[in-house]
Amino acid sequence: MPAPTSAAGEAAAAGHEPVSTARFLQLFTAVMLPILLAAIDQTLLATATPAIARDFSNLHDSTWIAVGYLLASTVMAPLYGRLGDRYGRRDALLGALALFAVGSLACAASPGMWWLIAARVLQGLGGGGLMVMSQALIGEVVPPRQRPRFQAWLSGVFVLSSVIGPVVGGIVVTAYSWRWLFVANLPLCALAAWRVLRLQRGSAHVEPGQGHDAPGVLLFASCAALSLLWLTLAGHRFSWLSATSLAMIGAALVLGALLLRRERSQRHPFLPLELLRLAPAAWTALTVVLFASSMFALVFFLPVYLQIARHGSAAHAGLLLLPLTAGIVVGANMTGRVIARSGRPDLPPRFGLCLSALALLALALVPPDSLEVGALGLLAGLGFGSVMPSSQLLVQAVAGRRRLGAAAATISLARSTGASLGTAVFGSLVFGLVSPADLHAALHGSSAAATQRVTEAFHAGFGAAALVTLAAVLVASRVPRVDLE
């Protein structure tokens, strides 16, 4: 068994004294709204997607409402980590808030589906830094062994966003318009920027010769965009073995090889390779990719499934999403308490993801009954909630204080990559199993047979998500032991 990794010496070297609750709250009240905006965005739009698809008469491309945002935030996450470490995490967070606000305004004014998708990409350029920089700012103040103690405060934000997100999103879409979901971000961004400006500028950690690695950024963005475009369109826009499909995947592989070659040759690469060379961080990042693939596919598509299979309203779908999101919050809170007592962030995901895999498998087999779907969503959420708190704590512990931005970016990059892949693959699988005519008929409730075929396609998607979650269990079991003491 690998030797435990110690974080106590790092905290001591950094001069960290025990952090009082008052000092933590001073920071937390500043980063609370950015965390809220990052967490609430997906649950708000999950219930709004069918309404947007009806307005624009385009359900096939609705997956890109989520994928466009996730792709942009995936590309930006490691860049924000580098910028925060180099120029200060407070200023990087302010820049992220500004981009997120501009993107929200563009989303609210979008006249068509692809205009909305482009605006979501712009919003994602800012959203990629909200969680990364907020987590890095907390890690800058709170030493590793004390972070589980304050996990309840972080979980409280997710409680708020998870509870109000689906319900408010469903109510607003039902009573008014989905555009108001984006307009509401503007005053929240302004309030968040005012609070963040009241923080002192953090210290910058610049190493000699450190640059921005612009070619690496462009190669990564191109490879990620082409791969996701292929995963989203192959199988229903063109066949898997067509010339178009083979050309796209071939180009993505070439770009990936060039990216890997460049990043290995750089002293300060765009991707956080120095952390991924450490076994605990590498296995944890892969666990997060697989976990996020399943969780975000479920969060985004479960309301669509409920509105199509049960012909319910957006508000009703939002209510049925509550057990899943509440389970994630409760699971995260329980995980923080367990880690606070044990000091072992490597253990909880192994057991939590087993529970999620079983719940997803059952969801693929049961009929769309409200009570059963809610109960299984709760169980899946309890398991999913064990991953992110333990992953953040583990990678921050092995990274050390000077690389907190890179540590937060590593987990955020893994989560965004998994979310993008999961959403794209799930959408491609489900929409590839049924015809556009069936999707249109099921969306408008004009054919019971079409609704049944679409429901069966969603069940196949949930079964695939269960297999991905089982793979995450196997990867999580390979994470070496890490002690926060």
Q: Are 242 and 380 contained in the same domain?
A: no
* Res 7: pLDDT: 39
Nearest one of 148, 156, 27, 154 to 90, comparing CA atoms = 27
Structure tokens at 52: 């947007």
Which among 269, 295, 311 is the end of a domain?
Answer: 269
| 202 against 311, higher pLDDT | 311
Domain residues for the domain of 380 are 20-198+271-476
Question: For residue range 271-311, what is the model confidence (pLDDT) as tens digits?
Answer: 767 777 788 888 998 999 999 899 888 877 887 787 777 67
Mean local confidence (pLDDT), 458-467: 90
Is it the case that residue 205 has pLDDT exceeding 70? no
Handedness of CA 416, 161, 198, 148 (dihedral sign): negative
Distance CA 227, CA 333 (A): 35
Residue 1 lies in a domain: no
Count other Cβ atoms within 10 Å, centred on residue 169. 29
Instruction: Establish if 194 belongs to a structural domain.
Output: yes
Domain membership of residue 9 (yes or no) is no
| Structural domains counted in the chain | 2
Higher pLDDT, 408 or 195: 195
Q: Is this structure's pTM higher than 0.85?
A: no
Report pLDDT for 3: 43
Question: Is residue 419 domain-shared with residue 444, that is, in the same domain?
Answer: yes
Which residues, other chains included, contact 391 with Cβ-Cβ below 8 Å and sequence gap of 6+?
Answer: 284, 287, 288, 345, 349, 411, 414
In the block, tokens 């015809």 appear at 435
Using DSSP, state whether 375 is helix, strand or coil.
helix
Same domain, 280 and 258: no
| CB-CB contact of 116 with 97 (8 Å) | no
Tell whether 355 is covered by a domain: yes
46 and 189 together in one domain? yes
| Residues 313-350: b if buried by 16+ CB within 10 A, e if exposed | bbbbbbbbbbbbbbbbbbbbbbbbbbbbeebbbbbbbb
Distance CA 344, CA 174 (A): 45
- Residue 393: which of 149, 92, 83 has the closest Cα? 149
The pLDDT of residue 171 is above 70: yes
pLDDT for 476 beyond 80 = yes
pLDDT confidence band for 195 (50 / 70 / 90): confident
Say if residue 366 is in the same domain as residue 253. no
**429 and 334 in a common domain:** yes
For 358, the token pair is 């079983």
pLDDT score at 15 = 43
- Where would I find the beta strands (DSSP E) of 149-273? none
- Work out the mean pLDDT of the chain and round it to a whole number: 79
Closest CA to 115 of 74, 71, 64, 80: 64
Least Cα distance to 414 among 317, 285, 313, 244 occurs for: 285
Mean pLDDT of 463-470: 93
3-state DSSP assignment of residue 234: strand
Mean per-residue pLDDT for 333-347? 81
SS3 120: helix
Place 206 in a pLDDT band, splitting at 50, 70 and 90.
low
Long-range contacts of 223-227 (CB under 8 A, 24+ apart): 223/252, 223/255, 223/256, 223/259, 224/71, 224/74, 224/75, 224/417, 224/420, 225/71, 226/251, 226/252, 226/255, 227/252, 227/256
The answer to whether residues 183 and 231 belong to one domain is no
Predicted local distance difference test score (pLDDT) of residue 230: 83
pLDDT digits (tens, 9 = 90+) for 57-98: 777 777 788 778 877 887 787 778 777 777 777 888 899 999
pLDDT cut 70: percent of the chain above it: 83
Which of the four pLDDT bands, split at 50, 70 and 90, describes residue 2?
very low
pLDDT digits (tens, 9 = 90+) for 121-150: 999 889 888 877 887 777 777 766 666 666
Q: Interhelix angle for 279-309 vs 387-399, to 10°?
A: 160
Evaluate if residue 9 carries a pLDDT over 60: no
pLDDT of res. 447: 78
